[in-house]
Structure 1
Amino acid sequence: MKIELTDTTASAIDRALIQGRRAIGTPVVGMVLTMVIVTDEENAYDSIKAAEGASQEHPSRTLVVIKRHARNPHGSHRSHLDAEVRVGSEAGTGETVVLRLYGEVSEHADSVVLPLLLPDAPVVVWWPVHAPDNPAKDPLGALGQRRITDAFADVAPLRALQNRVSSYAPGDTDLAWTRLTPWRSALAAALDQTEVEVTSATVEAEAGNPSAELLVRWLQAGLGMSIDRKVSAGPVITVVRLGTAHGEIVIDRSEGPLATLTLAGQPTHSLALKIRSTSELISEELRRLDADGMYAIALRGEGSADTRHI
């Protein structure tokens, strides 16, 4: 069910949500959080689809904030709010409100969003593209317990990642880090099997990839050594080599989603290291809403990150 609202208010949107839920007989009590997506028209569709996919595991109210600084549909620049309320099959297992803010109201998006947050429920703010330099101090970001960015979507991914270092606050995370979970788990498991000292490490990946950079920093923090970087054809990370006195530990994903794990004195193992969808990445992030201390360590590339315990 869709309800279109033109030149509206947060109160009218809230009433429309109640009306929609009553019409389809769906209560709000099953929702576990509010997801705020800050995006543009170009990326709104894909972002909403990813959030709907994640809502299968985490039923939520999704508020999509689209700031429109150009002329509104009425041909003027006056402050204006349009909304589209989606409930039932149109919004996965939760409910979605698409907010289009025009003119001056776009500078006060937090005032529009605040009355629409689910009471007594966590808030997660996600910027699929164009994240602020300091997410925690952004007016919308300040509403969230968790703030999700994606350095890979930036025109200069490594520069965006470096900005995250200086602006990091507990609750921040980045999908470039989430994409590393299978790699980190595989490396930790490999080290658990061998229990030998790592004397050298090399990461081979496509140039300028923020996930590869975070992996290098994580290994650097955990192993206490410099990590060699090599550029490969990709996609993303292709090979990680850990040198030991008994031979190399190698995870090689140079072809397709299936990787091979090589340990000295053991047969080669196959590992599933597919490139996961955005919906899967968001679902993973929503499983834990506390601060991700390991991300903070990896971001800075220093400290104590025991690679045996992920």
Structure 2
Amino acid sequence: MIIDLPSTTTAQVNTKLVQMREQGGATTLGRVLTLVIVTDDGEKTEDAIDAANEASREHPCRVIVVARGARKAAARLDAQIRVGGDAGASEVVVLRLYGALADQGASCVIPLLLPDAPVVAWWPFQAPARPADDPIGQLAQRRITDSAADRNPIKALDIRQKHYAEGDTDLAWTRLTLWRAVLAAALDLPPHEKVTAATVTGEADSPSTDLLAAWLAVRLRVPVKRVKATEGVGIVAVELERRSGPVQLQRPDGKVGTLNQPGQPSRRVALQRREVRDCLSEELRRLDPDEIYEATLKGLPKITRGRTPAAVPKPKQPAADPPKPSAAEAKAVAAAKPGPARSAKAKTEAKEAS
């Protein structure tokens, strides 16, 4: 069920929520947190709402969407309340702010926050340079960004590293959970040898590839090279060098990975690229600071960048030997060659033939 409240106020929105609860029980009091989504009003807003709806099935919450509209328009608040099948296991309040209100999202959010419940802020696309200093970020215990959705993912990741504060996290980091689990499990298998170096290959603009390389550099304390992939999506391959041979985890198609280890058969592992809703659900499971993510950000300067090794040129095939001439052809060629004076017999035969 969707209820539109054009040109309204937050007090009227709150009153409508209470009426719906009292009259039909459409929204129940089983919410564990408030999720605030901050974005610009547009088509992608619905994608973020869909991801939040799916995540709410694991974490029932109140979702407040702050959709900033045109700043040159007259100051206006258009609200929309979604419950039931249109809101998953949550209640969704969409606030479309126009004019001077577009920059006053925090003031519109505060009256709608659930009492005595934690607040999580999520910027699904463009995020502020300092999420912890943002007015909405100051209301939240956790602040979720997504470097991969930024216009310049690698630059956005550098900004996250420079301005990190406790409670910050990034969905580019959450997408590494399966890779980290498989690599950790592989090192638990014999032979238990020390890793001496590592190489991580991925797309040039993949922040998850940089974070995985930094995580390996921090946890293994070895030199790690970050290589640009010529094909494939996201993270393509990881190689851990050991004395007995390398541990290789490759995922060229973005779906299924192959794990190769010395003395072990090749294993196929599920490494499907994670959807936003799965990553969001994982981040909503914890409200405390992520120390491993913080240490990984500090390890970004430790990785070195290299180029993909050039393809080895194929050796040229030697030219085939020419076919041997027949006896008649050899005799004709020998006769045609200039040389010393012919023998007397040859001269006589030539004279008689003429």
TM tier, smaller = over 0.9
2:8 aligned with 1:5, yes or no?
no
- Give 1:279-298 correspondences, 5 Å limit: 279-298=277-296
The corresponding residue for 1:143 is: 139
List per-residue Cα deviations over 1:45-65 (Å, max 9, x = no partner).
100000001011111100000
Say which of 245, 248, 253 aligns to 2:246.
248
The corresponding residue for 2:86 is: 90
Q: CA deviation at 1:5?
A: 0.8
Which one-letter code corresponds to 1:121 in the other structure?
Answer: A
Q: Distance in 1 between matches of 2:154 and 2:66?
A: 26
2:67 aligned with 1:66, yes or no?
yes
Which one-letter code corresponds to 2:7 in the other structure?
Answer: D
Q: Distance in 2 between matches of 1:85 and 1:20?
A: 10
Q: Distance in 2 between matches of 1:222 and 1:138?
A: 32
List per-residue Cα deviations over 1:168-223 (Å, max 9, x = no partner).
01110001000000001111111122321001111111112100010111111112
**TM-score scaled to structure 1, two decimals?**
0.93
**TM-score scaled to structure 2, two decimals?**
0.81
The corresponding residue for 2:322 is: none
Q: Alignment partner of 1:121: what SS?
A: coil
The corresponding residue for 1:36 is: 36
Q: Distance in 1 between matches of 2:143 and 2:274?
A: 20
The corresponding residue for 1:51 is: 52
Q: CA deviation at 1:103?
A: 1.3
Q: 5+ unaligned residues in a row in structure 1: which ranges?
A: 72-76, 304-310
Q: Alignment partner of 1:247: what SS?
A: coil
- Give 1:160-179 correspondences, 5 Å limit: 160-179=156-175
Q: Alignment partner of 1:198: what SS?
A: coil
Give the RMSD, CA atoms, in angstroms: 1.5
Greater Cα offset, 123-132 or 263-272: 263-272
Q: 5+ unaligned residues in a row in structure 2: which ranges?
A: 302-354
Q: CA deviation at 1:70?
A: 4.3
Which one-letter code corresponds to 2:205 in the other structure?
Answer: G
Q: Alignment partner of 2:215: what SS?
A: helix
The corresponding residue for 1:212 is: 209
Q: Distance in 1 between matches of 2:252 and 2:218?
A: 25
Q: CA deviation at 1:302?
A: 7.1
Which one-letter code corresponds to 2:31 in the other structure?
Answer: M
Q: Distance in 1 between matches of 2:218 and 2:11?
A: 49
Which one-letter code corresponds to 2:148 in the other structure?
Answer: F
Q: Alignment partner of 1:184: what SS?
A: helix
Higher relative contact order (CA 8 A, sep 6+): 1
Q: Alignment partner of 2:263: what SS?
A: coil
The corresponding residue for 2:346 is: none
Larger C-alpha radius of gyration, 1 or 2? 2
Which one-letter code corresponds to 1:39 in the other structure?
Answer: T
Say which of 76, 80, 91 aligns to 2:76.
80
Which runs of structure 1 show a deviation greater than 6 angstroms over 4 or more consecutive aligned residues? none
Aligned 8 A contact 2:27 2:83 in 1: no
Aligned 8 A contact 1:8 1:81 in 2: yes
